Structure 1
Amino acid sequence: MAEDEIAPTFADLGLREELLSALTHLGYEEPTPIQREAIGPLVEGRDLLGQAATGTGKTAAFALPILQRMEPGRRTREPAALVLVPTRELSMQVSEAMHKYGRQLGVRVLPVYGGQPIVRQLKALDRGVDVVVATPGRAIDHLNRGTLNLDTVETVVLDEADEMLDMGFAEDLEALLEAVPESRQTVLFSATMPPRLNGIVKRHLREPQVIEIGRADVEAEAKRVRQSAYIVPRASKAAALGRILDVEQPTAALVFCRTRDEVDTLTETLNGRGYRAEALHGGLSQQQRDRVMHRLRGGQADLLLATDVAARGLDIDLLTHVINYDVPSSPESYVHRIGRVGRAGREGTAITLAQPREHRYLKTVEKITKQRISFEKLPTVADLRARRLELTRASLEESLLEDGDLDHFRVVVETLAESYDVMDVAAAAVKLAHEASGVTVDEEEIPEVAPPPKDRPKRPAKPAQRGDESMARVFVGAGRVAGIRPKDLVGAITNEAGLAGRDIGGIEIADRFSLVEVPADALDHVISALRGTTIKGKKATVRRERFTSPRR
């Protein structure tokens, strides 16, 4: 957009008054690039293929046209729109957003996902809905039951399409797209465009409007993000994170962990060290999740620790830092994470804690993103002491500048000055103020770790394959006879254990059991999570694989 060109408003996009009123109430001032380019074609009824990452505003980009095109006062029982998303977290978030946008229109929006009692969903579908926002697996369940009728669907949206493919939903997506009328409008959004998406695009989209948001926009945003990394042995990561937080002093930080257990453990550790931390993962109810987000947005918490799955779709205005406690599973995931800061002209910071063997992986990320990652040394005990003294000095300076009512204390200073040097009196006061902060400094230095030498064999950056000691196998007592497919196992692990689809290795399905490779350090958590859920509607024996089968 030229500098002298006036940015379009939502009113310029021809949206109805009820939607404009809702957007104004929500504080939306002007459309984002993806909204500017997508809303017009979608309101006209065109198919659309959009490449856009989380945080670019794509939910409103497809939600507003759906609501714009919907018949006023519609009370048909069957839905007019079907939105497919990879996770239950995203299903709830998209549903909430569409409900807010369409509140004045009386639009009925229903999230449909696994893990929620299906009876509740059945009752809502029976009463009638306008928009269904569903995970593919649960949508297929309702379709097979005959409780979800897609004959009247006018618009289908595939949101985070690449993630749905990673989670093994390819067959379900094909079945759902075959079940809706051929005349429907099809919208596909994906952060990346892997070759396997081409088949879906060719079979199901008709002369789509192609929009690519991000290359220039994301690069411009990324330039405002200061990216750094620390090489840290795994045993010292919690202590290292604490020191980095002490030095950085973020207004609000999002800390990414690999598993639910790690989120919970690290949250407890940080709270024990005096930070205000909250956990967010798939094990929380929606009510618990709402409370966490309310505390963060209200300033009662500074740190949000989350898994990738739980953090999808989150947009936190106050966010100043993104911290990768665990290295992301792919360069694309890294870009998604750091894209949560540096938005709307704001500067941000992205920090990664990497183990020595992951140094080369981050160098690969640099090449792919064309952004420099600065490798820095961890703050020492002396650095922390200096930083905390600086904070005390700043606090005292603020008091001197803003609080002129010091007369009550001058008497004390004057009395002490009769017996002691005034500088000693001032130093003693500073010491008391510093110690009153209640923050202690670790006395033990964290060992400095150098990256591996260049001639060391390169370790794979992507999830380890068969035979890699970093992977372990989970035994699941259900196989082909029970109708188990790879997507069922991937979906259960990603939704219940919080792992990303890329973290999961090889899958073997026999007649009566299955074996799934997962990261060794997440094995116990995955087993615990799967024991607490059902796969294909049934409980199955889940345990560590007892015997090592021959490797291919």
Structure 2
Amino acid sequence: MFAQFDLDDALVGGCDKAGFKKPTSIQQLVLPEAMAGKDVLASAPTGTGKTAAFILPCAQHLLDYPRTKPGYPRVLILAPTRELATQIFQQAELLTQLTDIKIGLITGGVNYGSHKEILTKTTDILIATPGRLLEYIDNEQFDAREVEILVLDEADRMLDMGFSDNIHRIAGEARWRKQSLLFSATLAGAGIIRFSKEILEEPVYLESDPSRKEKAKIHQWVHLADSKEHKIDLLVALLNDESVKRAVIFANKRETVQFLSGKLQSENLSNAWLEGEMPQDKRNNAVARVKDGEVNILVATDVAARGLDIDDITHVINFDLPRKADVYVHRIGRTGRAGKKGTAITLVEAHDVVYLAKIERFTDQRLQRRVIDGLRPLHKEARVPSKKKPKQKVKKNAGLTRQQKLAKKRKKDKKARKKSQKS
């Protein structure tokens, strides 16, 4: 199936070994355009195979135009988080395992010495997070002038995390590149479009419509809560349900993550936790505990909302409601992947209702409200004020000419005089 794109036999073999049988919709759209050397701005839902959509054309370019001398990376892939960068690195190694392509990974959270070999020896594809890579550029330990293809994965998330200036600086260092590919979970909003115009040249716009088999089937509903204590009781009851095989719980603050982790432990609900300030080895260990089945609950901040590579997550529970609707979409994308069914449950206090309304407008659906016997909320759902603009009153004489207005006034005055004479 992948042979139809004129990929090298080694890459087709890599797809087979990775278990990729049939190209997904985003791969079918991107591969021909990217392999033709065009700049691409693409959007695809989580779990629809977009990583392979940019790895394969980049690898094909390297095979078509072999390196003539040792040097710095010719393909640079930027990702917003360490987890996503690691996931891309693993898939790139899998797809190129039958080639001689050398791949490197640079992220924060690890000691600088571990990157020495990548910085001093020949690397063909480098996957990196912007912050740490820029440090090496500033220290003149990395040279981006040999980059021929620049890939920005989950660019919308990078903008949200404040990486815009870093990416522009890196793109400036790689200004002699021949091609740029930008991927985003959504193309909604002026920010990502404006950003893409600054990075891309005459890009092809591609937005996939996943097949029914690719689409995630995520059942979503809401539990209203009277207080934080009520939310905790709801959370414990939900996690004790036998349908929960593997769950990710999202909180907005790392203090909440640590509190919830301890609280669940006291309720005999073993878990691992993940937040942004953790050293990389501890983060890796937390994810490994869930992957290996040592625990089936991961409590996390939004650092794990993107690039968290854990299979068979049956439930995502929003203990805290995110303040942005697109973050909600990214969170629930951790379940229901690759056509499997998933469940997303959100716990909502009164002060969260305004954000729930934003999410429902963004996703164009009303999330079902459910209750648990014995834990029903005492208060009704707060009403969100309507944002509809009041209708403007139409003036009676609107649209009349000056002469028509004067004639109408004279007629009115004449009627008034007659009325006064009769009285």
Distance 1:352 1:358 in 2: 10
1:125 counterpart residue number:
119
Query: What is the SS of the residue equivalent to 1:107?
Result: coil
2:222 to 229, 238, 263: 229
Q: TM-score, normalised by structure 2?
A: 0.82
Distance 1:366-1:293 versus aligned 2 partners, 3 A rule: same
* Shift in alpha-carbon separation, 1:10–1:262, aligned structure 2, 3 A: farther
Match of 2:247 in 1: 253
- Measured in 2, the distance between the counterparts of 1:56 and 1:168 equals 26
- After superposition, residues 152-301 of structure 1 pair within 5 angstroms as 152-193=146-187, 194-213=189-208, 221=215, 224-232=217-225, 233-247=227-241, 249-301=243-295
Q: Which position in structure 2 is the counterpart of 1:362?
A: 356
Cα distance change of structure 1 residues 231 and 219 upon mapping to structure 2, 3 Å threshold: farther
**Higher RCO (CA < 8 A, seq sep 6+):** 2
TM-superposition CA deviations, 1:8-32 (whole Å, max 9, x none) = x223333223223333233223222
**Structure 2: distance between partners of 1:34 and 1:23:** 15
Match of 2:7 in 1: 15
Structure 2: distance between partners of 1:219 and 1:329: 31
Structure 1 CA distance for aligned equivalents of residues 109 and 292 of structure 2: 29
C-alpha deviation, 1:156, in angstroms: 0.2
Offset of residue 176 of structure 1: 1.8
Paired residues for 1:46-195 under 5 Å: 46-71=38-63, 74=67, 76-193=70-187, 194-195=189-190
Counterpart-to-counterpart distance in 2, 1:220 and 1:354:
30
User: How big is each residue's C-alpha offset from its partner over 1:405-436, in whole Å with a ceiling of 9 and x where there is no partner?
Assistant: xxxxxxxxxxxxxxxxxxxxxxxxxxxxxxxx
Measure how far apart 1:287 and its partner are: 4.3
Return the match for 1:449 from 364, 369, 379: 379
Paired residue secondary structure (2:234) = helix
Query: How much does 1:256 deviate?
Result: 1.2
Measured at CA, do residues 285 and 241 of structure 1 come closer, stay the same or move farther in structure 2, by a change above 3 Å?
A: same
Which protein has the larger Cα radius of gyration, Structure 1 or Structure 2? 2
Q: Unpaired segments of 5 or more residues in structure 2?
A: 388-423
Tell me, yes or no, if structure 1 residue 27 matches structure 2 residue 19: yes
Contact 1:55–1:313 (Cα < 8 Å) also in 2: no
TM-score by length of structure 1 reads: 0.64
Deviation, structure 1 residue 152: 1.6
Tell me which residue corresponds to 1:465: none
The Cα RMSD (Å) is 2.7
Deviation at 1:136, TM superposition (A): 2.2
1:291 deviates by: 4.0
Change in 2 beyond 3 A, CA 1:288/1:155: same
CA positional deviation for 1:40: 2.0
Letter of the 2:102 partner, please give it.
R
Alignment-mate amino acid for residue 36 of structure 2: E
SS of residue in 2 equivalent to 1:344? helix
Q: Secondary structure at the match of 1:168?
A: coil
Alignment partner, residue 337 of structure 1:
331
Q: Report the alpha carbon displacement of residue 51 of structure 1 after superposing the two structures with TM.
A: 1.6
Q: In 1, distance between residues paired with 2:323 and 2:378?
A: 25
CA distance in 1, matches of 2:351, 2:212: 28
In the alignment, which residue of structure 2 is the partner of 1:425?
A: none
Output the CA distance in 2 between the equivalents of 1:164 and 1:218. 29
- Give deviations 1:229-252, integer Å, cap 9, x for gaps: 111111222221011222363121
Residues 264-294 of structure 1, C-alpha deviations (whole Å, 9 max, x = no match) = 3322322332224222333444444444444
CA contact (8 A) 1:236 1:446 kept: no
How far 1:211 sits from its partner (Å)?
Answer: 0.7
Contact 1:325 1:352 in 2 (8 A): yes
Distance of 1:326 and 1:337 partners within structure 2? 11
Q: Distance in 2 between matches of 1:148 and 1:454?
A: 52
